[in-house]
Structure 1
Amino acid sequence: MNISVSMNKFDSKIKFVQLVFVDINGMPKGMEIPASRLEEAVTDGISFDGSSVPGFQGIEDSDLVFKADPDTYVEVPWDNVARVYGFIYKDNKPYGADPRGILKRALEELEKEGYKAYIGPEPEFYLFKKNGTWELEIPDVGGYFDILTLDKARDIRREIAEYMPSFGLIPEVLHHEVGKAQHEIDFRYDEALKTADNIVSFKYITKAVAEMHGLYATFMPKPLFGFPGNGMHLHISLWKDGENVFMGEEGLSEIALHFIGGILKHAKALTAVTNPTVNSYKRLVPGYEAPVYISWGYRNRSALIRVPAFWGKGARIEYRCPDPSANPYFAFAAVLKAGLDGIKHKIDPFAYVEENVYEMSEEKRKELGIETLPGSLGEALEELEKDKVVKEALGDAYKNFINYKWKEWESYLEYLEEKHMPKDTKKVTEWELERYFFL
């Protein structure tokens, strides 16, 4: 985007521009500047204090600079403001703990091998009535793919979809999900960095439209005990010289299989990044379509990695354990680095299965080499600490991330002890609702 052109196109409506980045949890942060300072934000950057941003600098060394990425400029259709994403700098150099910058560097490493990554997400969310308490009132009783009177939120989904193109998102499928008041709106895949931005934008749009209708939208992995959780399956493919390198003569290519092998090898550590909350592990339990067994297969929806049916250049894998509480920049960087490790070291995928893994006996799973994902955030963090590849994917943010998440886990354990609750409880606690409901 040519900034001089963009400045000329401002009309009287656009008075301010929001400079948007995310913190360690993937929560949007930022500041507003007068529209007249947009060119300055692109060329010189806008300084800010990062000491109170979760996962950023300490108070003793907190001067950071936000530089706007002009290609991400959009105007918010229901407000008189524009928004733009960007990169964070420190001492005139890219700031090592900037989530967007971390993904950019991971993609640059991928490009050195000749690959470009495309990702399509499937974020799920619930809509709840506002009632001033944690008593979560459900505004409809629809079920999976309901389209008639049971689905009271169809007009809200349509409204969200109508706003999405203004932010550069192309909606593809809208439908009611399995849970009462649970929904999904899929949007078109794109290059990895653009898709990560799109996830942040999609959550913003969805929450804003819900607010307009007096509702809360939550992407919390498991807001209700006994109801399906919110997942965010990722459809991933690699391209080289304009060709999908996951497409083989019959089925997937060798590159794709090695990419799967890398993800399977690092799957336990990856969950700390793709499922980074205490609440994430209330979703990752058998019986709710959330994969907990480290396996792969064609069309098998009980496997961690599924290969959907595809035509033409549509070859891809579907990584099924991530949830919408993940910081998308961290998650994409970690998954792509794990897959690239598989390609570089020619790691063959293991635990291939086309049967329903949930219905298998423990003996059968052991025979097939099917292991289990971590059962808690604490277990996932232990796996992360042992995994060099996933740690390196987080770059300078790793130390901040692991320390922040260990404190989160310890705080939860203290809460359980105070409430005399078992450590392995699958109930959704008030502690989780207060911490994660607005993610």
Structure 2
Amino acid sequence: MTTGNLADEADGLTEAEEAVLEEIEEENVKFVRLQFTDITGTVKNVSIPAGQVEKAFKEGIWFDGSSIEGFVRIQESDMRLEPDPETFAVLPWRTDDNAASARLICDVANTDGTPFEGGPRQVLKSVIERAESMGYEISIGPEPEFFLFEKDEHGKATTNPHDSGGYFDLAPKDLASDVRREIIFTLEDMGFEIEASHHEVAEGQHEINFKYDDALGTADNIATFRAVVRAVAEQHDLHATFMPKPIGEINGSGMHSHISLFDEDGNAFADDDDEFNLSELAYNFMGGVLNHAQAFTAVTNPTVNSYKRLVPGYEAPVYIAWSDVNRSALIRVPDAAGTSARFEIRSPDPSCNPYLAYAAVISAGLEGIENDADPGDPVREDIYEFDDEKREEYGIETLPPNLGAAVDALEEDEVITEALGDHVSEKFAEAKNADYADYKTHVSSWEEEKYLEKF
């Protein structure tokens, strides 16, 4: 089948699928990338000619699941990609003949057509279904940060920042303002609504905020955002990284996430009569998040390097507490009311798999609602200044100090492992334990410089 008259030839498709075929024809799309993520959050894709999109909608596209980290074994490798028509977007880069490519984000199915329990997107959809059964829709607004680094003469990434700017700086210190602008235009071409962008605290560090969406849409957007940032950076001969702490002794990159729940009456987190404009439901959800923070940290902060960011002194949260003014706490409540009432979880970093990270956090919050969890009183003092005795007096616990401890906490928490499912919990812990084992046996340049001649 050719791309001409795709919509006319479509049979048995949904209205959304037919709209995709029409746009393919209108935009002169020649190839479509079918995207999905593995358990670590790495985006994978299969490219198909535009003429095969109708077949993809009707029958799915088969692929070898045993080649994808954390999916299935070699003896059960056949799996199917099922594209979600709501995620269709034309990529902004065209060929010389004005032909375009597009992408569709896919769910993963087993050979019998049932959803694959190890698919990260399916894990999040299952948690969303649980929330919907309780009468709620989840809204999430992320704030992903990243670094732009120069490349060396061989085209390999360095840790030399592209500029010397600081928080909210302007040009000439913020040399990357043009790069950020191009990233924003590219994202807008793909349907994003950008709310703000600015230089972050560290040299070479940036933040671009896009409008909140439902939980699944936000996770999809984060996966797309990371791909676009890297692609635009490459066009400027730069390397963009979402590594949480690429340089020691300076601020790392986080992905603060603003969360609220909506029901048939509006924002279920809102209560204008409360000091912090939050409802009892919001406090229960918050209590659940705090109760399970140690367990979901393995998912929201999934690399060895993540724990180089989660240390006192660099504006990253370490302490399991909440506050309206205190950025040393895990949860901050912004000064917002009505439809904007929400709270901000400050621990996630942009290396996480957004589908699994949000599934874990939401599940913790829903469990808090079901069990009337109490988040305790806000802590308005700087917890970084507390000694152990004072933290014990306030009942403040800390996030896990390393990936190994985080995985241990995850495996002991039935609420989070149940939300992730047996398959993902097992494969995720297996992969992260392997990473941590490798890390523990590695001898760093710091150790060589510190001890080689001394001892």
AA matched with 2:376: F
Gaps of 5+ in 2: 1-14, 95-99, 451-455
In the other structure, the counterpart of 2:315 is 289
Gaps of 5+ in 1: 426-439
Within the candidate set 378, 398, 403, 2:425 is matched to: 398
AA matched with 2:35: V
1:237-256 alignment, distance < 5 Å: 237-248=260-271, 249-250=273-274, 251-256=277-282
In the other structure, the counterpart of 2:17 is 3
Which protein has the larger Cα radius of gyration, Structure 1 or Structure 2? 2
1:231 aligns with 2:245: no
In the other structure, the counterpart of 2:368 is 342
CA contact (8 A) 1:351 1:370 kept: no
Give me the whole-angstrom Cα distance separating, in 2, the residues matched to 1:350 and 1:236: 19
Identity of aligned pairs, percent?
Answer: 49
1:94-109 alignment, distance < 5 Å: 94-109=115-130
CA contact (8 A) 2:20 2:85 kept: no
1:296-307 alignment, distance < 5 Å: 296-307=322-333
In the other structure, the counterpart of 2:8 is none
CA contact (8 A) 2:92 2:190 kept: no
In the other structure, the counterpart of 1:329 is 355
Give me the whole-angstrom Cα distance separating, in 2, the residues matched to 1:203 and 1:72: 16
Q: Which moved more, 1:75-84 or 1:333-342?
A: 75-84
Within the candidate set 195, 218, 234, 1:211 is matched to: 234
AA matched with 2:438: S
Change in Cα spacing, 1:200 to 1:47, as seen in structure 2 (3 Å) is same
Give me the whole-angstrom Cα distance separating, in 2, the residues matched to 1:308 and 1:419: 41
CA contact (8 A) 1:351 1:368 kept: no
What secondary structure, in the 3-state scheme, does the structure 2 residue paired with 1:406 have? helix
What secondary structure, in the 3-state scheme, does the structure 1 residue paired with 2:338 have? coil
CA contact (8 A) 2:411 2:425 kept: no
1:385 deviation in Å? 1.0
In the other structure, the counterpart of 1:18 is 33
TM-score, normalized by length of structure 2?
Answer: 0.90
Give me the whole-angstrom Cα distance separating, in 1, the residues matched to 2:129 and 2:287: 22
1:7 deviation in Å? 2.0
Within the candidate set 107, 112, 115, 2:133 is matched to: 112
CA contact (8 A) 2:194 2:208 kept: yes
AA matched with 1:339: G
Give me the whole-angstrom Cα distance separating, in 2, the residues matched to 1:239 and 1:2: 25
1:357 deviation in Å? 0.8
Within the candidate set 229, 232, 245, 1:222 is matched to: 245
Give me the whole-angstrom Cα distance separating, in 2, the residues matched to 1:419 and 1:312: 52
Give me the whole-angstrom Cα distance separating, in 1, the residues matched to 2:447 and 2:34: 42
Within the candidate set 104, 107, 110, 1:84 is matched to: 104
1:177 aligns with 2:191: no
Q: Deviations over 1:207-266 (max 9, x none)?
A: 111011000000000011112101000100000015101011222110000111001100
Change in Cα spacing, 1:211 to 1:420, as seen in structure 2 (3 Å) is closer
What secondary structure, in the 3-state scheme, does the structure 2 residue paired with 1:174 have? strand
1:8 deviation in Å? 3.3
Give me the whole-angstrom Cα distance separating, in 2, the residues matched to 1:407 and 1:139: 33
CA contact (8 A) 1:157 1:174 kept: yes
1:138 aligns with 2:153: no
Give me the whole-angstrom Cα distance separating, in 2, the residues matched to 1:159 and 1:12: 21
What secondary structure, in the 3-state scheme, does the structure 2 residue paired with 1:42 have? helix
Change in Cα spacing, 1:202 to 1:389, as seen in structure 2 (3 Å) is same
Within the candidate set 67, 70, 74, 1:59 is matched to: 74
Give me the whole-angstrom Cα distance separating, in 1, the residues matched to 2:17 and 2:128: 25
Change in Cα spacing, 1:92 to 1:268, as seen in structure 2 (3 Å) is same
In the other structure, the counterpart of 2:83 is 68
1:313 deviation in Å? 1.2
TM-score, normalized by length of structure 1?
Answer: 0.93
In the other structure, the counterpart of 1:410 is 437
Within the candidate set 165, 168, 184, 2:188 is matched to: 165
1:137 deviation in Å? 1.7
Q: CA RMSD in A?
A: 1.6
Moved beyond 3 Å, runs of 4+: 132-135, 418-422
Give me the whole-angstrom Cα distance separating, in 2, the residues matched to 1:306 and 1:162: 31
In the other structure, the counterpart of 1:122 is 143
Q: Which moved more, 1:353-362 or 1:375-384?
A: 353-362
AA matched with 2:428: F
What secondary structure, in the 3-state scheme, does the structure 1 residue paired with 2:329 have? coil
In the other structure, the counterpart of 1:382 is 408
AA matched with 2:194: P
CA contact (8 A) 1:351 1:369 kept: no
Give me the whole-angstrom Cα distance separating, in 2, the residues matched to 1:149 and 1:293: 37
Q: Deviations over 1:26-76 (max 9, x none)?
A: 110010001011111112100000111111111121110000000100000
Change in Cα spacing, 1:299 to 1:130, as seen in structure 2 (3 Å) is same
Change in Cα spacing, 1:261 to 1:48, as seen in structure 2 (3 Å) is same
Change in Cα spacing, 1:201 to 1:135, as seen in structure 2 (3 Å) is closer
Give me the whole-angstrom Cα distance separating, in 1, the residues matched to 2:27 and 2:297: 47
1:273 aligns with 2:299: yes
What secondary structure, in the 3-state scheme, does the structure 2 residue paired with 1:123 have? strand
1:11 deviation in Å? 4.4
Give me the whole-angstrom Cα distance separating, in 2, the residues matched to 1:186 and 1:74: 19
1:166 deviation in Å? 2.3
